[in-house]
Structure 1
């Protein structure tokens, strides 16, 4: 992409406005590519609940407290079939998902009835930690 743009700018066939548009388009695409490359979903599970951050869209961790959950478990899911793909899905809906890749996630059902799925690459470790802190039998 860089070399054809360089050739077009140096060919002398483009006016200055076309050159500026070409350069701005290149930098816009570059910024988008860097942004996509930097997207990360980090999750931490502790005695308070599940903390997660979808960088760069969330600056701070979001926390779901154990007391606010009705159910919490890991499961296999279909990113395209259930949510229409990867990323932050289900904006404004009762069922939301944060996922980057893969098909394993932490399913959270809140006492309000809302559901949230947080993608994970370590489902076994996540389930062990959930079992340690979240006792679903006591909540029924």
Structure 2
């Protein structure tokens, strides 16, 4: 099986400082509580938990939550005739979008919170969005469904790659 050439590739992660401050602040509360109880033997809070429950919460929230957000990524690839989007860890396989289903596409500047309710895999009145940070991307308009926004830190390159991919034929042997 021959693979399609990659015309555009981008891997994005959450880079918002405010998000990391909140995540690490929440995790720090669990770190402090766990180690305070473990090292001093005193109770942390009015209704303390001990032993296994404290260790499980520390691992899940104190370590697991920041690690989960650190590993989360949006991978976008443009190939002749299709776009592949994978929002790790929610997509096991990439979502394939055949470009013959795309009626039109445009570079857009959008308000992630106002139009889609934030970042991630989002649904709004304007359709579906895959975005990690920023406010720019390419919006795809389909013949028979709502638009899809692909957020990008390189919207000009993504737009040009889609133009090139839509005008070329996919030639693979499977």
- Counterparts of residues 58-77 of structure 1 (less than 5 Å): 58-77=91-110
Which fold has the larger relative contact order, with Cα–Cα distance below 8 Å and residues 6 or more apart in sequence? 2
1:41 aligns with 2:70: no
Alpha-carbon distance in structure 2 between the residues aligned to 1:55 and 1:63: 14
Identify the residue that residue 35 of structure 2 maps to in structure 1.
Answer: 6
2:60 aligned to which of 20, 28, 32: 28
Q: State the TM-score, normalized to the length of structure 2.
A: 0.69
Residues 68 and 111 in structure 1, CA contact (< 8 A), matched pair in contact too: yes
Alpha-carbon distance in structure 2 between the residues aligned to 1:112 and 1:94: 14
Q: Which runs of 4+ in 1 moved over 4 A?
A: none
1:114 aligns with 2:138: no
Name stretches of at least 5 consecutive residues in structure 1 with no aligned partner: 136-140
Residues 74 and 106 in structure 1, CA contact (< 8 A), matched pair in contact too: yes
Could you say what the CA RMSD is over the residues aligned between the two structures, in angstroms? 2.1
Q: State the TM-score, normalized to the length of structure 1.
A: 0.84
Tell me, what secondary structure is at the counterpart of 1:102? coil
Name stretches of at least 5 consecutive residues in structure 2 with no aligned partner: 1-27, 44-48, 168-174
